[in-house]
Structure 1
């Protein structure tokens, strides 16, 4: 059985400390059920471990995907998300693939996290696919601390400046993800229409632009694992 590590943010507050953030719920659930269906053994982790914060906006019915609705009645899935391993506890465990969910909190605790950088570097050395969605793409900056050239010319996507402005949260963020990725050498692309699905694949890296891209990114990762399995069989 293939082992997959899902990583969620532990950060709950925007910069003004009045607005709450956290994991964008559908980017956990949409991927989680895709991985369950594919037969993966899933470990869920976050920088601090325990129960990660969930962005309150993502729990509203207008943003609830079918997978979010399934999760609401799924005790086991709630237990897995509510009792995450810390990144330190995960340690040097080898996984066949990694997935990093969306959430504004990632800009604080996944962009400069040495343990996360080490996990991503190990995946890079082992040619293990890594899928990241929305603000979760900021994890590439942690990897860049250990592999400075990793973003040079790499095709990526992520939550855009336009999408940030439409949500009216950009003034409360520590930095602009798009600008930081471009400054690090990445070739950034995005969907023409904000909040619509867009996924880029370059080498082992699969990046999704926004929550609407989570299922697509997860299925791209599943397909890559399936192709690799066929090659080895």
Structure 2
């Protein structure tokens, strides 16, 4: 009897191991089927040679609780940086990278886990030119936003700590808006770059504009509630017309991209909007060039 029990236990154990391995292997496909990093079939090829794009990231690399300076490593989320970067680069644009404080851009290490990594992330890991830009980014203080045609603000947990809080970033966003040249965009927490910017009368620049960012419900899914700024709450507080998609089953992957009435701001709900947001920005720029 004991031998039989041992045999059964061994068989069950082996079965559990095989099941776990199978799930691990299939996990990337399962998540993609649920909506993670969808293929953007509507993508077009744009020729924007001679145009310039700026990708702006956080400088905060620690997922710290209020009053603390230590925590898990975080920063910009990989695909929210690599997807727009390569969309713009492949359109022939000059693409620069800047961060709040300058220096090496912190990237959330979870971005590159095997079940989250994208084709663009893998391309980045083999791209010394892009990696050099990430390791040696200039501060936004040293960048003239009005020199650019497109400006993209990268999301991730990091921007929760230094985008809305940066007076200098708010001034740069306002200056870019009144220069009437740059089209600005973001995904996820990147929209926090806009909430402190003011118009010429001192009112919030985003007031009355259709905008989106990661929802409170999507943030609650991760159980991290101590980050200082949350996009949905901050955009609504600033008077933005907040838009978002929801899903009854896989709400964490629900996403949408929206454009404001002046076609100056293009915002995506989360990392699943990266391609569409970048593509929409280039579409608007191409239409402007055609006039």
The residue aligned with 2:197 is: 143
Asked whether the 8 Å contact 2:196–2:204 carries over to 1, the reply is no
Alignment of 1:9-158 (within 5 A): 9-16=58-65, 17-91=70-144, 94-127=147-180, 128-144=182-198, 147-158=202-213
Give the TM-score of the pair, scaled to structure 2. 0.75
CA distance in 2, matches of 1:93, 1:158: 24
Asked whether the 8 Å contact 1:3–1:95 carries over to 2, the reply is yes
CA distance in 2, matches of 1:134, 1:118: 21
Asked whether the 8 Å contact 1:22–1:105 carries over to 2, the reply is yes
**Greater shift in the superposed pair: 119-128 or 201-210:** 119-128
The residue aligned with 1:5 is: 54
Residue 196 (structure 1) shift? 3.1
The residue aligned with 1:198 is: 256
Asked whether the 8 Å contact 1:23–1:103 carries over to 2, the reply is yes
**Greater shift in the superposed pair: 3-12 or 114-123:** 114-123
Say yes or no: does 1:215 pair with 2:268. no
* 1:181-209 Cα distance to aligned partner (Å, 9 max, x none): 11211111111133233101002000011
Residue 96 (structure 1) shift? 1.4
Residue 100 (structure 1) shift? 0.4
CA distance in 2, matches of 1:175, 1:112: 9
Give the TM-score of the pair, scaled to structure 1. 0.93
Residue 20 (structure 1) shift? 2.1
Q: Relative to structure 1, is the Cα distance of residues 92 and 173 closer, same or farther in structure 2, using a 3 angstrom cutoff?
A: closer
Structure 1: give runs of 5+ residues left out of the alignment: none
Asked whether the 8 Å contact 2:76–2:154 carries over to 1, the reply is yes
Alignment of 1:222-233 (within 5 A): 222-231=282-291
Larger CA Rg, structure 1 vs 2: 2
**Greater shift in the superposed pair: 150-159 or 11-20:** 11-20
CA RMSD for the aligned pairs? 1.6
CA distance in 1, matches of 2:145, 2:269: 29
Q: Secondary structure at the match of 1:44?
A: strand
Greater relative CO (CA pairs within 8 A, separation 6+)? 1
Residue 145 (structure 1) shift? 8.1
Asked whether the 8 Å contact 1:15–1:174 carries over to 2, the reply is no
**Greater shift in the superposed pair: 209-218 or 112-121:** 112-121
